[in-house]
Amino acid sequence: MQFTTMVAGAAALFTAATASPVVARATSIDVNPFALSCTATQCSWTLNYNLVPENSAAACSFVTSGATIPTTIGTAIGPFACSPSDPNVVVRIQVLSGQYRVLISVVGAPTANFDYFLPASDFPGLNSYTGPSSFTAL
């Protein structure tokens, strides 16, 4: 009798613990590559991201007009168009004082923001990018 009760209790615990999977939420985002190229009329921003641990990836791009990148503090660059498209992921760059903030938001309950800061010195002449081509946004 006592052994049967213990086995039944253990089975109930095991069943309850494995009944529904845990939904993973991104803890970081790997970006590789990140690039910028400018012509006389526009600058093309590109990046590929991978949500960790979901392993959900996309290639994203955005075009700004003009031969140089925006420098006005507070300017938002984006949102980037990504493929495959995920309405729950928003990619943009914010112009800050002396740096550019790559901001990737995963919309949900709650929304999670992941960012990486690039110093303005990584954009010589404001028309090229010489910083790291890969980084992790936390």
Q: Which two three-digit tokens encode residue 81?
A: 């168009």
Contact between 77 and 103 (Cβ < 8 Å): no
Looking at residues 9-14, what average pLDDT do you find? Answer: 43
Please name the helix (run of DSSP H) or strand (run of DSSP E) that holds residue 129, with its range, or none. Answer: none
Contact between 88 and 108 (Cβ < 8 Å): yes
Residue ranges of the domains in the chain?
Answer: 24-137
What is the pLDDT of the chain when averaged over all its residues? Answer: 87
Contact between 16 and 39 (Cβ < 8 Å): no
Model pLDDT for residues 75-87, shown as the tens digit of each residue: 999 999 999 999 9
| pLDDT higher than threshold 80 for residue 91 | yes
pLDDT at 110: 86
